[in-house]
Amino acid sequence: MKSTFETPSAGAIEFKARVFKVLGDSNRIRILEFLRDGEKCQCEIIPMLGQAQPTVSRHLSLLEEAGLIQLRRDGNKIFYKTVDRRVYGIIDAMDSDLLGALSQGLMSRLIPV
């Protein structure tokens, strides 16, 4: 029986790895969660994150470069929103059941029965 699975191209794999790398920072996940209910001004994101403006700007830039968020300028304000709500499917896939299974697998390797 022939498999219908096609191996993704090297470019697609590199892009996926880049997205996961960007998602691998808790501050960037916090930003995405903050944007979950809609567009927010950078002036709202900075106090929510509780970090200096240059640090928050760097996180926002990385999210934008990965194609996860987009910005809109309105006068001197910059607004951000997620490009596609399906990114939350990636985040939400790490639910308590999956986290429990992953941690149980890790614990079984660290503490043999």
Domain assignment present for residue 62? The answer is yes
Structure tokens at 71: 């910005």
Domain assignment present for residue 45? The answer is yes
Domain assignment present for residue 99? The answer is no
Give CA–CA dist 88/30, Å, rounded. Answer: 12
What domain count does the chain have?
Answer: 1
CA–CA distance from 39 to each of 22, 55, 70, 104 (Å)? 20, 20, 10, 37
CATH of the domain at 34: 1.10.10.10
Output the pTM of the full model. Answer: 0.81
Domain assignment present for residue 110? The answer is no
What pLDDT does 2 receive? 57
Domain assignment present for residue 35? The answer is yes
34-46 pLDDT, tens per residue?
999 999 999 999 9
DSSP string, 85-103: TTHHHHHHTS-HHHHHHHH
Domain that holds residue 40: 10-83
